[in-house]
Chains A and B, each alone.
Chain A
Amino acid sequence: MKKIIMTITVAALLGLGCSKDFLTNDPTTILPTDQVFGSPELALSALADLYKGYVDQQSITNWAEFTNFDEAFPSEAGQYYRVKQIDYPYDWWNLWNYDYIRNINFYIERINGSTALDDADKTRFMAEARFLRAADYFEMVKRMGGVPIITKALTYDYSGDPTYLQYPRAKESEVYDFILAELDTIQNQLPDNAAVQDRASKGVCLAMQSRAALYAASIAKYGASTPAVSLPGGEVGIPSSKADAYYKKSREASLKLVNSHKYSLYLKTPDNLSENFAALFYDKSNNPEVIFAQNFKLKSGTVEAWTLNNQPRAIAEEAQGGRINPSLNLALKFETLDNKYQPFKTNNGGDYAYYDQESDIFNNRDARLAGTFILPGSKFKGKDVDIWAGYLVAATNKIVTSGVFGGLETLPGKNFKEQVVGGSGPIDGLEFGAQTGFYVRKFMDPATGSGQIGTQSEVWWVRYRYGEVLLNLAEAEFELGHKDSAALFINQVRARAGLTTPLTSAQMTFDRIVHERRVELAFEGHELFDNKRWRIAHKVWNGAQISIASLESGIGKADAPNTMVYGIWPYKVYAPGKPNDGKWVFKTVKPGEVTAAHRFQMGNYYSFINDDIRSNNPKIVKNPNQ
C-alpha cells in the first residue's frame, strides 16, 4: 500500500514539474545582454566595470612600484629586492591586455545596438568607453611601442585557422594618432563640466591629449639621440620630422583647457602652502585642480590602503605602515625659496651643523617638500612623527641608539634607561621604519581610521590634474621656442609652491622643465615614462654606484645619475651642560639594504612582448635590444 501511494505521489510530482517550461527560466545570477543594455543603470554598472580595468603602472593601490626608481626606498622586507637588483627585467611594465580592449569593443557594439537606451545616455556611455579604450592604448604604447589597433570585438570561429585574427603591430606614431583622433571626436560628446572628476569629461580628453601628444613629440625629438631604440617598421620610434606637429597639438589641447577657465590650481589655504599642496590630493570637495581621478568610498568595499601602508610607524593605527620612504635624492631637488639648488647642510667645516629644532634643516624650501614628504620633526594627524636615529654623545662622538622602535638605553652618566631612538626609526634594516629618514605625505589621508585595516581610506588617485597640464604646456612652449610663455606657465605652478621669484625666459632650459616635473609630480606615476620619452632613462639609471657628493652636484641636471637611494638621519646631541645639548645634527646615509645601482638598458625602453604572444601571432615583431 505504502509503495503504491509513493509511486502515485512521485508520478504526480513529475507530471506537475513537466507541465511548465521550467527549463527555460531566466537565470537568476547572470544578466543577459538585452537586460544590461535595456536600462541605463545596468549599462552604467557595466561601464563602471570597465573603469575598474584602467591600468596604472604606479598607483596608490600598488605602493611598491614607487620604489623601483630611487624616488623612494621600500621599507618592507619582501620588497628589498627592488634596491638589490641591478638590471630592470625586460618584461617589467609590459602590458598586452587585449581582453580588456575586447570587453570595451563589445560594450561599444552593444551600446550601439541598444534600442532601449535614450540617445543622451547612449552617446555618453559610448564616448566614455571610447575614452577608456584610448587611455588603454596610451598605456600600452607608453610601455610596448606600437601595438595592433583593434576597434571591433574579435571572435574566433573555431575553423582551425586563426590567421584572420592576427594583426601586425601598428607604428608607434599611428597609435598616438589614433589616441589623439579618438579624443578629438569624443570630447564634445562628454560633459564639459569640471565637477565630473571620476568619470570621463571634456577636460580629461584635453588633458590626455596634452600628455599623449607631448609624449609622441618628445619621442620624435629625443629618439634621435638613441638610434638603437627603433624598429625599421616604425613600431618603435617616431621620425623626428613629426616632433613639431605633436608639440603643437599638445600645446593646442593644453591651451584649450587653460582658456576654458573651468580648472585652476588648488589654493584653499594660501597661508600654509605645504598643507595646501598636501590637501590638493586628499581634498575631494570642490577641488578645482583635479581633472580625472580613480575614486574610492568608505564602507563600500572600494577603499584604498595607501595611508595604512605608509603611516608613520610611531603613530600608526595598526602595527605596520611606513613602507614608502622617499629618498634624499628626491628631497635634494626641492629648491630654496630664492630658486637655488642647495644640498642640506649637515657639516660646518670639520664639525656638524647644529640645529635648534629638528625641522630647521628643511626651512626655507619649496613648500612642496613638506607637502610631499613627512619630514623629521613634523606632525601627521596632529601627532609628532618621532623620526630620529639616536643620540650623538658629544664627549666621545659615539652614537647611542637601539634596535627597536622607540628603544631604551642608558646614556653615559645616567642610571636609568630612556628612549634613544624615534618611534618611527630610522633603524637600518628594520622594516616599516623611515629608513631614509622620511615618510611620504602625498595622498596620505589625515582622517581618523585611515590607517586601520577595517576602515582604510577614500582619498582618490589623481590621474590628471591642472598642474600637470600647465607643465605640459610649458614644455611644449619651450620646445617650440616660445620661452616667454614657457616661463609664464611654469611660474604659475612654482608660485603655488611658494617660489615667488619668477623664472625669466633666459632661465628656461630643458633641465628646468625636467626638474620642475620631478618635484611637482613626484609619486604621481610620471618619473619612468618621462625619463623614457626624453630618452635619458639609460643615463639616469646607468648602473654606476653613486656617492652623496655626486647626488648633490647633480641637482637640477636632467640626466644626472640617480641609481641608489640615500637618506638623511637626524641625531639628538647629548652634551650635558654644553651649549649644543639638545640640538640636532644630521648624517647622510645609504640604507644597508641598498646594494645595487640600478641600470636601465636600451632593451628596457620598450618592454618585452612575451614569447607566447609572438608565438600565437608571428606578425608581432620583437622590441629592439632584447
Chain B
Amino acid sequence: MNLHKILYHLAFGCGLVICLGGCQKDNFAPPETKFTGHIVYQGKPIAVKNNGGGTVYFELWQSGFGKSGAIDVYLNQDGSFSALLFNGEYKLIIPPSQGPFISIANESTGSDTIDVKLSGNQSMDIEVLPYYIVNKAAFTLGADSVVKVDASITKIIKDERARDIESVSLYVNRTSFVDDDNHIAFTDLNGADIADLSHINLSAKIPKDISGVNIGVADQKYFYARVGVKIAGVEDRLFSDIVKVEL
C-alpha cells in the first residue's frame, strides 16, 4: 500500500468520524403533542373539501420564538384535523376567507382568536357558524349507473351576513375522496332553480367509458358520493358526509 492510498483512507476515516460525531449531540426532540379535533356546528362536524386540494385551514400562532409565522393546519374532508406540536401556548385563528362558515367570537379573548394551551395530547372541537348545513342526503344507485340524491339544506345565517346559494352539486367518485376536483360524475343545479331547500333532487350518470376504462356499474358495484353547496362569494364549498352507495 503506497502512501497516497494510506492518506486517502485516513482522510476518509476522519471524515466518517466527523460525520458520526456530528450527529450525536444537540438534536431537538421532535414535536410529540397531538392536537386533534373537528370544525363543528352545534357539535356536528362540517365536511369540507379534501385535504389533498389543500383548501380549508386554520392558523396557529406562537409568539416568543424569533420571526413570527403561522402554522397552517389543514382540515380533512370530514372536518377533522390533527397536528403534531410542541407543548406551549398558541393562538388559533380561522382566516376570514377560509371555509363555508364564519368564526364565532371567543368568550375569553373577545375576538375570533382562540387561546390554545397544549400540555400533552389534546382534542378540541372548534365551533363555527356555517352559512348553511346539509342536514339530509339520501343516495341511491340504480342498475343504469345513475346515482340519485334527495338532499335537504338548512340556512343557518339569516341576518345581514346571509349569502345565497350559487349552486348545489352532486359529486360521485370511485374512491372515498369526493369533491369538486375529485369526481367521475357530477351534476350542478343553479341556486336560482331550487324550489324547495328541503327537497333537492339531483342525479348523475356514471359515464360508461373514460379513457377506455369501464367505470359504470358493470365494472364496479359501489361508488362514493356527496353533495356540495357553493355559496355565493365563498370559495370553499360546503359538503355533506361521504356516503358509500351500493347497487
Contact = CB atoms under 8 A, between A and B. Distances in A.
A455 interface: no
A615 B69 contact: yes
A625 B235 contact: yes
A615 B67 CA distance: 6
Nearest to A86: B181
B119 interface: no
B95 A612 contact: no
B180 interface: yes
A49 interface: no
Nearest to A625: B97
Interface string A471-506: 000000000000000000000000000000000000
Contacts of B53: 86-87
Interface centre among B53, B70, B235 (most CB of A within 10 A): B235
Contacts of A228: 97, 233
A576 to B, nearest CB: 31
Contact of B233 (A227, A612, A616): A227
Contact of B180 (A543, A601, A602, A618): A543
Contact of B97 (A87, A603, A616): A603
A626 B95 contact: yes
A611 interface: yes
Given A228-B233, A543-B180, A543-B181, A626 B68 contact: no
A228 B163 CA distance: 13
B239 to A, nearest CB: 16
A612 B70 CA distance: 11
A228 B181 CA distance: 23
A319 B180 CA distance: 42
Given A543-B180, A625-B235, A602 B69 contact: no
B181 A611 contact: no
Interface in B175-231: 180-181
Contacts of B54: 87
Contacts of A227: 233
A611 B97 contact: no
Contact of A615 (B68, B95, B97, B180): B68
B51 to A, nearest CB: 14
A625 B181 CA distance: 20
Tier of interface size on chain A: 10 to 19
A624 interface: yes
A344 B143 CA distance: 40
Contacts of A615: 67-69
Nearest to A611: B69
A603 B234 CA distance: 11
A612 to B, nearest CB: 7
A119 B69 CA distance: 49
Interface in B118-156: none
Given A543-B181, A615-B69, A602 B235 contact: yes
B69 A626 contact: no
Contact of A612 (B67, B97, B180, B235): B67
Interface string A608-624: 00011001101000001
A601 B235 contact: yes
A601 B53 CA distance: 13
Contacts of A601: 235
A602 B97 contact: yes
A612 B181 CA distance: 31
Contacts of B233: 227-228
Interface in B28-84: 53-54, 67-70
Contact of A611 (B70, B95, B180, B235): B70
Contacts of A625: 97, 235
A345 B121 CA distance: 65
A603 B233 CA distance: 12
A560 to B, nearest CB: 17
A86 B70 CA distance: 25
A603 B57 CA distance: 14
Contacts of B69: 611-612, 615
Contacts of B181: 86, 543
B67 to A, nearest CB: 4
A555 B95 CA distance: 38
Contacts of A612: 67, 69
A611 B70 CA distance: 8
B112 to A, nearest CB: 15
Nearest to B66: A615
Interface of A: 86-87, 227-228, 543, 601-603, 611-612, 615-616, 618, 624-626
Rank and list the top 7 A-B pairs by shortest CB-CB distance, nearest first.
A625-B97, A611-B69, A615-B67, A615-B68, A602-B235, A228-B233, A615-B69
Given A603-B235, A615-B68, 19 more contacts: A86-B53, A86-B181, A87-B53, A228-B97, A543-B180, A601-B235, A602-B235, A603-B97, A611-B67, A611-B69, A611-B70, A612-B67, A615-B69, A616-B67, A618-B68, A624-B97, A625-B97, A625-B235, A626-B95
5 contacts: A86-B181, A228-B233, A602-B97, A603-B235, A625-B97
